[in-house]
Amino acid sequence: MGYVAVSGGTEAILNAEKLLTYFRLKGKSKPLLVEQIRDQMRLAVDKVMGEGALYAPNMAALAMKQAEGDLFEAAFILRAFRATQPRRYVSLAVDTTKMHLIRRISGAFQEIPGGQILGPTRDYTQRLVDFSLLSEQPKEMEKILSNIGIQIVPAQLPDTFPKVVDLLRREGLLAPLEPSQEVLDITRQTLSFPSCRSAKLQSLCRGETGAMMALAYSSVRGFGDIHPCLGELRVGYVPLYITHPGCTAKSVYVGRVLVTETEIIAQYSEGDKKNKPQLTLGYGLCFGHNELKAMAMAILDRSTRSKANEKAPAEDEEFVLYHIDGIEAAGFINHFKLPHYVTFQSTLDRLRQSQVVRGEAADAKHQED
């Protein structure tokens, strides 16, 4: 991780920490419970988990409480916590066709195998303030939950759903992705360019949603050559397995995580003498329910594979991967709050000397004239 503002007088720092606590509590409202944040601020929790690179809803909610709702700071806290934890096991590759879906849509096809599932979304609601939430009471919440009857829906869904893009693959309309020969762990190995695909997807996966959205938007809007179509977006729980510690031929189920997966279909390539023209694919997957991030990730995955001679920022792999990490970016911007007394005094000294030299030169020229 990058810069951290930690310099200063000890007494002043301790007082600053006390003031943080004071400003969080001075309203004297009831203590905010971690489970309340986890359950009722779930989308913010998911963002923190994604950018903190750790699937831990309770820890993410606790970090949000500690950070007073500052999601950058919460993600920083969570990623720092992650760095202190031992790595005992590595999960097996996840099969997302076995995802227990809560939402599944396609912008490319109206009729898809298994059908579209709108699930929990605000896509079709009006963005009006709901004043009824001001007086929300526990009894009313229980009544709403019992009336919805949401518990009967999962039992109606099949265990697996085929991928929409497989329809295009079977027709030979979708170009195959180049297999990644190397699996790089960006938490332990330095990112280098051109990066392997595994490293790029890891970097995008823990990127900051807003930064990724802005870059993806720039590419779609004209600073790039991507015209995406949403092949499939799915949100759901995927099972995680690890290799059995005592028998490598067996696997052990260790739990499930909520993820958002997106496959973006981009414009077709013209092909060459050996290859026929085909559509291309961009892939995105992130922790939790974060559709905007997964879609932006898929667009950037595809845009950074551009073979254009003159690349737009969103097509430049190094530019994208070095600037989407919110913790790195926030740390660098924040570091300007650190004392720069010596360097700034040096700047002033050079400026004053330059003005003296420029003034003397002007006087000399005036005398010559």
Give the pLDDT confidence of 331-343 residue by residue, as tens digits. 999 999 988 899 9
- Tell me the C-alpha to C-alpha distance, in Å, between residue 290 and each of 38, 42, 229, 315: 15, 10, 18, 23
Residue 8 pLDDT level (bands cut at 50, 70, 90): low
Q: What's the one-letter identity of residue 199?
A: A
pLDDT higher than 70, residue 85: yes
| Strand pairing report for 229-244 and 278-287 | unpaired
Q: 221: part of which helix (H) or strand (E)?
A: helix 209-221
What is residue 305's DSSP assignment? Answer: T
pLDDT at 7: 60
Provide the pLDDT for residue 270: 57
209 pLDDT higher than 90? yes
Compute how many other C-beta atoms are within 10 angstroms of the C-beta atom of residue 156.
Answer: 6
Q: What is the pLDDT of residue 154?
A: 54
CB-based contacts of 124: which residues, under 8 Å, 6+ apart?
118
Two tokens at 227?
Answer: 């015209």
Beta strand 100-105 with 229-244 is antiparallel
> What is the per-residue pLDDT for 150?
62
Indicate the burial class of 359 (C-beta count within 10 angstroms; 0-12, 13-18, 19 or more).
Answer: exposed
Handedness of CA 87, 89, 90, 91 (dihedral sign): negative
Average pLDDT over residues 53-68: 97
pLDDT of residue 227: 85
Residue whose token pair is 């969103």: 314
User: Quick one: pLDDT band at residue 297, thresholds 50, 70, 90?
Assistant: very high
Of 306, 307, 257, 313, residue with least CA distance to 285: 257
pLDDT at 160: 80
Nearest of 212, 249, 201, 206 to residue 50 by alpha carbon: 206
Lookup result for tokens 């600073």: 223
Q: What is the pLDDT of residue 367?
A: 86
- Give me the residues paired with residue 101 across strands: 236
Tokens for 18, please give them: 């006390």
Q: Across-strand partners of 240?
A: 255
Confidence of residue 268 (pLDDT cuts 50, 70, 90): low
Residue range 155-183: average pLDDT?
81
- Lowest model confidence (mean pLDDT) among 68-82, 106-120, 291-305: 106-120
306 vs 79: which has the higher pLDDT: 79
Query: Going by C-beta distance under 8 Å and a sequence separation of 6 or more, which residues neighbour residue 107?
Result: 229, 230, 231
- Would you say residue 261 has pLDDT above 60? yes
Residue range 278-298: mean pLDDT, rounded: 96
d(CA 353, CA 298) in angstroms, rounded, equals: 52
Q: What is the mean pLDDT of residues 140-165?
A: 74
pLDDT for res 71: 95
140 pLDDT band, cuts 50/70/90, is confident
The average pLDDT across 154-178 equals 81
At 237-257, the pLDDT tens digits run 999 999 998 888 899 999 999
CA distances from 18 to 6, 26, 131, 153 (A): 16, 12, 35, 48
Average pLDDT of the residues in 349-356:
96
Q: Answer yes or no: is pLDDT of 3 > 60.
A: no
* DSSP3 helix / strand / coil % (the chain, rounded to 5): 45, 15, 35
**Tokens encoding 11:** 């007494």
Mean pLDDT score across all residues of the chain: 90
* Confidence (pLDDT) at 225: 79
Q: Give the Cα separation of 294 and 300 in Å (integer).
A: 10
Three-state SS at 367: helix
Whether pLDDT at 77 is above 80: yes
- Which one-letter DSSP state was computed for residue 257? E
DSSP string, 148-167: HTGGGSGGGS-S----THHH
Return the H-helix or E-strand segment holding 285.
strand 278-287
Instruction: State the average pLDDT over residues 223-231.
Output: 88
Residue bearing tokens 């916590």? 81
SS3 51: helix
Tokens representing 254? Answer: 């260790």
**Most confident of the ranges 90-99, 134-143, 152-161, 171-180:** 90-99
- Amino acid identity for residue 213 in this structure: M
pLDDT at 14: 92
